[in-house]
Amino acid sequence: MSLVLRVLRGLRSLLTGLGITGRESVRRAVTLQYPHETPDVSRWGGPIELVTFPETGTHDCIACNACARICPSDCFDIEGKRPEGAKKMRATKFLLDFSTCSLCGLCIDVCPTDTLQYSKRYDEAAYRRAQTVNDLLAPYGEDPYLAGKLK
Protein backbone atom coordinates (compact mmCIF):
# COMPACT_ATOMS: atom_id res chain seq x y z
CA MET A 1 0.00 0.00 0.00
CA SER A 2 2.81 2.36 0.88
CA LEU A 3 4.29 1.79 -2.57
CA VAL A 4 1.05 2.83 -4.26
CA LEU A 5 0.92 5.89 -2.05
CA ARG A 6 4.53 6.74 -2.83
CA VAL A 7 3.95 6.40 -6.56
CA LEU A 8 0.84 8.56 -6.43
CA ARG A 9 2.63 11.19 -4.34
CA GLY A 10 5.54 11.14 -6.76
CA LEU A 11 3.18 11.52 -9.71
CA ARG A 12 1.48 14.46 -8.03
CA SER A 13 4.82 16.17 -7.39
CA LEU A 14 5.77 15.64 -11.04
CA LEU A 15 2.52 17.22 -12.19
CA THR A 16 3.05 20.10 -9.76
CA GLY A 17 6.47 20.63 -11.29
CA LEU A 18 5.06 20.63 -14.80
CA GLY A 19 2.43 23.10 -13.63
CA ILE A 20 5.05 25.48 -12.28
CA THR A 21 7.20 25.44 -15.41
CA GLY A 22 4.07 25.66 -17.55
CA ARG A 23 2.93 28.77 -15.72
CA GLU A 24 6.37 30.35 -15.87
CA SER A 25 6.66 29.69 -19.60
CA VAL A 26 3.78 32.00 -20.47
CA ARG A 27 4.99 34.84 -18.29
CA ARG A 28 6.98 37.71 -19.71
CA ALA A 29 10.69 37.13 -20.22
CA VAL A 30 12.85 38.85 -17.65
CA THR A 31 15.97 39.03 -19.78
CA LEU A 32 17.18 41.97 -21.83
CA GLN A 33 17.93 41.65 -25.56
CA TYR A 34 21.18 43.43 -24.90
CA PRO A 35 22.49 45.18 -27.99
CA HIS A 36 18.94 46.14 -29.00
CA GLU A 37 17.75 47.09 -25.54
CA THR A 38 19.95 48.80 -22.98
CA PRO A 39 19.51 48.58 -19.24
CA ASP A 40 18.27 51.45 -17.07
CA VAL A 41 21.47 53.17 -15.94
CA SER A 42 19.92 56.01 -13.94
CA ARG A 43 21.13 54.51 -10.64
CA TRP A 44 24.36 53.09 -12.02
CA GLY A 45 27.74 54.41 -11.03
CA GLY A 46 30.37 53.55 -13.60
CA PRO A 47 34.03 54.60 -13.96
CA ILE A 48 34.85 58.08 -12.61
CA GLU A 49 34.73 60.89 -15.17
CA LEU A 50 35.08 64.66 -15.18
CA VAL A 51 31.98 66.86 -15.02
CA THR A 52 31.52 69.23 -17.95
CA PHE A 53 29.93 72.46 -16.79
CA PRO A 54 27.50 74.02 -19.27
CA GLU A 55 28.59 77.58 -18.44
CA THR A 56 32.19 77.01 -19.49
CA GLY A 57 31.76 73.99 -21.74
CA THR A 58 34.69 72.30 -19.99
CA HIS A 59 35.66 70.66 -16.69
CA ASP A 60 36.80 72.58 -13.65
CA CYS A 61 39.77 70.53 -12.47
CA ILE A 62 42.34 72.69 -10.77
CA ALA A 63 44.87 69.87 -10.35
CA CYS A 64 44.75 70.23 -6.56
CA ASN A 65 45.43 66.51 -6.14
CA ALA A 66 42.88 66.21 -3.35
CA CYS A 67 41.43 63.16 -5.09
CA ALA A 68 44.86 61.64 -5.56
CA ARG A 69 45.61 62.08 -1.87
CA ILE A 70 42.40 60.56 -0.57
CA CYS A 71 42.30 57.73 -3.09
CA PRO A 72 42.83 54.47 -1.13
CA SER A 73 44.09 52.69 -4.22
CA ASP A 74 46.31 55.42 -5.58
CA CYS A 75 44.57 55.47 -8.96
CA PHE A 76 45.27 59.01 -10.02
CA ASP A 77 48.12 60.53 -11.96
CA ILE A 78 47.49 64.28 -12.25
CA GLU A 79 49.62 67.13 -13.50
CA GLY A 80 48.62 70.78 -13.83
CA LYS A 81 49.80 74.12 -15.13
CA ARG A 82 48.89 77.67 -14.14
CA PRO A 83 47.55 79.78 -17.02
CA GLU A 84 49.26 83.17 -17.26
CA GLY A 85 47.80 85.66 -14.80
CA ALA A 86 45.37 83.14 -13.30
CA LYS A 87 45.13 82.12 -9.65
CA LYS A 88 44.03 78.53 -10.19
CA MET A 89 45.84 75.73 -11.95
CA ARG A 90 44.40 73.72 -14.82
CA ALA A 91 44.91 69.99 -15.24
CA THR A 92 47.13 69.04 -18.14
CA LYS A 93 47.21 65.33 -17.36
CA PHE A 94 44.50 63.37 -15.59
CA LEU A 95 44.93 59.60 -15.68
CA LEU A 96 42.80 57.20 -13.66
CA ASP A 97 43.91 53.59 -13.44
CA PHE A 98 40.54 51.84 -13.47
CA SER A 99 42.10 48.42 -12.85
CA THR A 100 42.80 49.45 -9.26
CA CYS A 101 39.80 51.78 -8.73
CA SER A 102 37.18 50.30 -6.41
CA LEU A 103 34.57 52.97 -7.24
CA CYS A 104 34.47 54.03 -3.58
CA GLY A 105 33.59 57.60 -4.54
CA LEU A 106 35.87 59.34 -2.02
CA CYS A 107 37.37 61.42 -4.85
CA ILE A 108 33.91 62.66 -5.79
CA ASP A 109 33.21 63.73 -2.18
CA VAL A 110 36.53 65.47 -1.71
CA CYS A 111 36.72 67.38 -4.99
CA PRO A 112 36.61 71.11 -4.12
CA THR A 113 35.22 72.12 -7.51
CA ASP A 114 32.76 69.22 -7.79
CA THR A 115 34.16 68.24 -11.13
CA LEU A 116 34.23 64.48 -10.58
CA GLN A 117 31.26 62.15 -10.96
CA TYR A 118 30.32 58.55 -11.66
CA SER A 119 29.80 57.97 -15.37
CA LYS A 120 26.92 55.90 -16.81
CA ARG A 121 29.29 53.63 -18.75
CA TYR A 122 28.75 49.94 -18.03
CA ASP A 123 29.93 47.94 -21.02
CA GLU A 124 33.67 48.44 -21.26
CA ALA A 125 36.21 45.77 -22.05
CA ALA A 126 39.95 45.78 -22.61
CA TYR A 127 42.50 43.28 -23.82
CA ARG A 128 45.49 44.80 -22.01
CA ARG A 129 46.00 46.15 -18.57
CA ALA A 130 47.36 49.38 -20.05
CA GLN A 131 44.01 49.97 -21.73
CA THR A 132 42.28 50.16 -18.34
CA VAL A 133 44.01 53.47 -17.63
CA ASN A 134 41.42 56.11 -18.46
CA ASP A 135 42.55 59.50 -19.72
CA LEU A 136 39.86 61.71 -18.26
CA LEU A 137 40.97 64.69 -20.32
CA ALA A 138 40.60 62.81 -23.60
CA PRO A 139 37.04 64.06 -24.32
CA TYR A 140 38.26 67.64 -24.08
CA GLY A 141 40.30 69.35 -26.74
CA GLU A 142 42.63 72.25 -26.15
CA ASP A 143 42.09 73.75 -22.72
CA PRO A 144 40.33 77.13 -23.16
CA TYR A 145 41.93 78.56 -19.99
CA LEU A 146 45.44 77.58 -20.99
CA ALA A 147 44.81 78.86 -24.49
CA GLY A 148 43.71 82.16 -23.04
CA LYS A 149 40.18 81.99 -24.42
CA LEU A 150 38.62 81.90 -20.94
CA LYS A 151 39.69 83.73 -17.83
Residues within the interface to another protein (CB under 8 A): 7, 14, 17-18, 20-22, 24-31, 33
By beta-carbon proximity to another protein, the closer residue of 34 and 127 is: 34
Rounded Cα–Cα distance for residues 41 and 104 (Å): 18
3-state secondary structure of 149: coil
By beta-carbon proximity to another protein, the closer residue of 16 and 42 is: 16
Rounded Cα–Cα distance for residues 79 and 74 (Å): 15
The angle formed by the CA atoms of residues 103, 109 and 112, to the nearest 5 degrees, is 130
Minimum CB separation from another protein for residue 8, in Å? Answer: 12
By beta-carbon proximity to another protein, the closer residue of 10 and 72 is: 10
Asked if 75 and 100 count as a contact pair (C-beta separation under 8 A), the reply is yes
By beta-carbon proximity to another protein, the closer residue of 23 and 129 is: 23
Minimum CB separation from another protein for residue 32, in Å? Answer: 10
Rounded Cα–Cα distance for residues 120 and 93 (Å): 22
Minimum CB separation from another protein for residue 12, in Å? Answer: 13
Minimum CB separation from another protein for residue 82, in Å? Answer: 55
